[in-house]
């Protein structure tokens, strides 16, 4: 059974399916313009479900609800820098923070449990934890953020499909 959920402070939005078949489309970077290392990253979807709340100026990530599986997987390879309740992320509940590049960090929030430890290197697609409803939320979902140089950016610019 799938349930729609969102962060308690998020605005409602149209639902968009993600993961699974949506992964088939690839994003290509034009060679005619200068791109940063962060822009060449190609993330996989961290969960299979529906975007229940998109990235906005007031909601700094994607909420993925109506999950087909509670597994949360690394969108990109990197090093785990923090797990559990993290300072600066009050309300997010259990989180996993991964340093992907020197200027890009991914955040996975509201997890019921996590399977990684700080200092571990993770591969793209590796199991990080189980989606949940810790912190401020209205139901089981994954809140996924990408921060570039400390600033939240729309994760969809990095995600395949």
What is the tally of structural domains in the chain? 1
pLDDT at site 38: 55
pLDDT tens-digit map of 74-104: 999 999 999 999 999 999 999 999 999 999 9
Domain assignment of residue 9, yes or no: no
CATH code of the domain containing 79: 2.70.70.10
Percentage of the chain modeled with pLDDT above 70: 75
Domain assignment of residue 58, yes or no: yes
* CA–CA distances in Å: residue 96 to residues 7, 16, 64, 73: 17, 24, 16, 11
pLDDT tens-digit map of 100-121: 999 999 999 999 999 999 999 9
Domain assignment of residue 128, yes or no: yes
State pTM to two decimals. 0.79
* Residue 37 binned pLDDT confidence (cut-offs 50, 70, 90): low
Domain that holds residue 30: 16-157
Domain assignment of residue 47, yes or no: yes
């Amino acid at each position: 059974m799938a349930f729609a959920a969102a962060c308690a402070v998020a605005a409602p939005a149209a639902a968009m399916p993600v993961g699974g078949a949506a992964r088939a489309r690839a994003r290509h970077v034009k060679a005619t313009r200068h791109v940063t290392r962060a822009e060449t990253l190609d993330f996989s979807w961290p969960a299979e479900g529906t975007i229940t709340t998109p990235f906005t100026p007031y909601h700094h990530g994607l909420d993925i609800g109506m999950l087909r599986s509670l597994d949360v997987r690394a969108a990109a390879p990197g090093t785990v820098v923090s797990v559990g309740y993290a300072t600066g992320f009050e309300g997010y509940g259990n989180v996993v923070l991964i340093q992907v590049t020197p200027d890009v960090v991914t955040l996975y929030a509201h997890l019921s449990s996590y399977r990684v430890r700080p200092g571990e290197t993770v591969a793209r697609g590796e199991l990080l934890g189980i989606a949940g409803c810790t912190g401020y939320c209205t139901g089981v979902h994954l809140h996924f953020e990408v921060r570039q140089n400390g600033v939240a950016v729309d994760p969809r610019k990095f995600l395949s499909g």
